[in-house]
Amino acid sequence: MIAQLRGRLASVEADHVVVDAGGVGYQVFCNLRTSALLHDVRDTEVTLYVHTSVSDDAIRLYGFASRDELRLFQLLISVERIGPKAALGILGRAQLPLLVRAIRGGDAAMVAQVPGIGPKTAERVVLELRDKLHGLAPSEIPAVPAQRQSATAAVEGLVGLGYRESEAREAVAAALPNGSAEPDVAELVGAALRHLDVTGAAR
């Protein structure tokens, strides 16, 4: 069972990364925020905390930037009707401290924003997990690099226009300018839309 993976970040795709560890490329599925975090550090050594899922037809790795994210993912998939894809969607909605506070505070609306999760399922997440989050997340919300904030907003904007989240993430990643300056969200969305037009992605 793989619990932690350290190696060179070989590639970042729409819904996963590939980590080269000892000459073996491991496909690791990530949430939106982890993918955005890793986008600018390709070809460097990274460490991901991993949940290994074994089924009849595949072994899948799900990777996270912190042990707290991994723990929340594992708690989420313990809830009925919350699979790995839905759990990644929830983790991609907001910074971990915000998610923990929302669940502890009974805010099912944030969870229900994830595509495929209805109000009843979101309420079940809150009811089952609100008392199981002890020790999760720092009390202060860490600062998020401006470029990543803009990228997240741009992805949400494209999803609102009807594009699939995986398409939106890939297009925004391709449209991000070089450097660390904060890009204008509207310009970033426009550049991502042009990328989608070129690649022929359809709503």
* CA 161 to mean position of chain CA atoms: 19
- Token pair of 112, please? 């229900």
Number of domains in the chain: 3
> Would the pTM of this model clear 0.75, i.e. be above it?
no
CATH number of the domain to which 49 belongs: 2.40.50.140
Q: What is the full DSSP assignment across 22-91? A: TTEEEEEE--HHHHHHHHTTTTSEEEEEEEEEE-SS-EEEEEESSHHHHHHHHHHTTSTT--HHHHHHHH
Domain with 99, as residue range(s), is 68-129
Q: Which of 131, 178, 134, 182 is nearest to 154 (CA)?
A: 182
CATH number of the domain to which 171 belongs: 1.10.8
pLDDT of residue 27: 97
Assigned domain for 25 exists: yes
Residues 58 and 74 occupy one common structural domain: no
Q: What is the full DSSP assignment across 130-162? A: TTS-TT-S-SSPPP--HHHHHHHHHHHHHHHTT
Angle separating helix axes 185-199 and 146-160, nearest 10 degrees: 60
pLDDT tens for each residue of the chain, 203 residues long: 899 999 999 998 878 999 999 999 999 999 888 887 787 677 889 999 999 999 888 999 999 989 999 999 999 999 999 999 999 999 988 778 888 988 999 999 888 888 889 999 999 999 999 999 988 864 443 444 556 667 877 877 777 677 777 778 888 888 887 655 667 777 888 888 888 887 665 44
pLDDT of residue 4: 94
For 167, the 3-state DSSP assignment is helix
- Residue 103 CA to residue 115 CA, distance in Å, equals 18
- Residue 65 CA to residue 75 CA, distance in Å, equals 16
Assigned domain for 178 exists: yes
